[in-house]
């Protein structure tokens, strides 16, 4: 969090004195302001899905300019955090009910599934397991 801050390579990630929480606050406020100014006072949530897709694509491509925030950097941060939450172990608060893992058939934190690593195009027969095990393994509250 100390300078100098320069544009880093993709491998270095974003170099900035702004924390992720500050970036979200600034970017969400600028994003809401943009939507309301551009779409007759409507918030992003009030817009039809095709319009939302157009706005998100504009952020991704850098064609939408936000006042006081970089829309493309905001999009990248939001996408990264969404992926982290969707594919992380549920113990961390995302990927509820292991939906991300079930979707891609990831076995999760199983002790050993080496026998299956080279078995391409075969469905893995067991459900995913999180760090703390499966919910049905937990003792029932008394």
List CB contacts of 131: < 8 A, sequence separation 6 or more: 89, 91, 109
CB 55 within 8 A of CB 42: no
How confident is the model at residue 138, as a pLDDT? Answer: 57
| pLDDT of residue 131 exceeding 70 | yes
Bridge partners (DSSP) listed for residue 115: none
- Say whether 61 sits in a helix, a strand or coil: helix
pTM of the model: 0.73
How many helical (H) and strand (E) elements, i.e. helices and strands, does the chain have? 5, 0
H or E element, residue 114: helix 114-117
pLDDT digits (tens, 9 = 90+) for 81-118: 988 888 899 988 888 889 999 988 888 888 787 888 89
pLDDT digits (tens, 9 = 90+) for 22-77: 999 999 999 999 999 999 999 999 999 999 999 999 999 999 999 999 999 999 99
Put residue 97 in one of left, alpha, beta given phi > 0 → left and psi -120 to 50 → alpha.
left
């Amino acid at each position: 969090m100390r300078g100098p801050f320069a544009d880093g390579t993709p491998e270095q990630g974003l170099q900035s004195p702004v924390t992720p929480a500050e970036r979200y606050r600034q970017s969400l406020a600028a994003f809401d302001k943009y939507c309301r100014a551009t779409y007759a006072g409507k918030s992003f949530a009030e817009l039809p899905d095709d319009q939302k897709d157009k706005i998100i694509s504009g952020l991704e491509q850098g064609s939408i300019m936000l006042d006081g925030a970089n829309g493309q950097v905001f999009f990248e941060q939001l996408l990264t955090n969404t992926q982290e939450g969707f594919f992380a172990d549920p113990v961390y608060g995302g990927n509820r009910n292991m939906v991300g893992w079930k979707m891609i058939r990831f076995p999760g934190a199983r002790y050993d599934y080496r026998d299956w690593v080279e078995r391409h195009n075969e469905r893995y027969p067991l459900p995913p397991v999180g760090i703390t095990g499966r919910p049905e393994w937990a003792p029932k509250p008394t």
